[in-house]
Amino acid sequence: MKFAIAITLILSFLACSNESQKIEMKSQLDSVAYVIGWGLGEQLIKDSLMMNTELIQKAIDDALAGKEALVNAEDRNQVMQAFSQVMQEKAMKKAEEAKTINLEEGKKFLEANKSKEGVVTTESGLQYKVVKQGNGPKPAGPTTKVKVHYTGKLLDGKVFDSSLQRGEPAEFALNQVIKGWTEGVQLMSVGSKYIFWIPAELAYGERGAGQMIDANRTLEFEVELLEIVE
């Protein structure tokens, strides 16, 4: 279904984007159509789906002209179902490969990182560095509710989440977040700022968390403990 929707959108994109230099976008809907098509085109390239655009254009022209389709409705459904299955299998294979690649990259990074100045490695494998040491109280335990500012990054520096970017601190009980946070924030005094490097098993493990955090990612967080709420 997802791929069928993608094809529908890309057909619309190709119908209006041939010789794009000569096309004038005269309305907001024209602009929206082009932006959607461009984004989808980039996604198809990312997924290595280089299609025969002449056939796509012919299908558009035939449909708009009310001609009979070269492939009947039943066969079209079968084609899309079969291709959806191929894409699902491809995605599953890629995800399995990423598990191994991410795990090895994380281990390699942590091994090199542990010998850097100021980096401390705990018994669990969590690594941290004190950026600023506060003089307030520490959380009393894993059920403590805290208020923090934080920025989360992948090892390549890409930001995947940031309370600073949202302009609002986060509040949560320490037993409601990933294990690396539960352990790490308890080390901090209010007013402190630490950098944490959290191995996959203390982060989101094999399940990952959304598109940016796929399976077995080692994560970096810069955390400032603003307040113990309760």
Q: Which residues are catalytic?
A: 150, 160-161, 178, 204, 221
**199-205, long-range: CB < 8 A, 24+ apart:** 199/106, 199/107, 199/110, 199/125, 199/126, 200/102, 200/103, 200/106, 201/125, 202/124, 202/125, 202/126, 202/178, 203/178, 203/179, 204/178
Q: Which residues contact 36 (CB under 8 A, 6 or more apart)?
A: 9, 12, 13
Distance CA 106, CA 126 (A): 12
- CA-to-CA distance for 57 and 63, rounded, in angstroms? 10
Distance, CA of 83 to CA of 227 (rounded, Å): 52
CA distance 44 to 167: 34
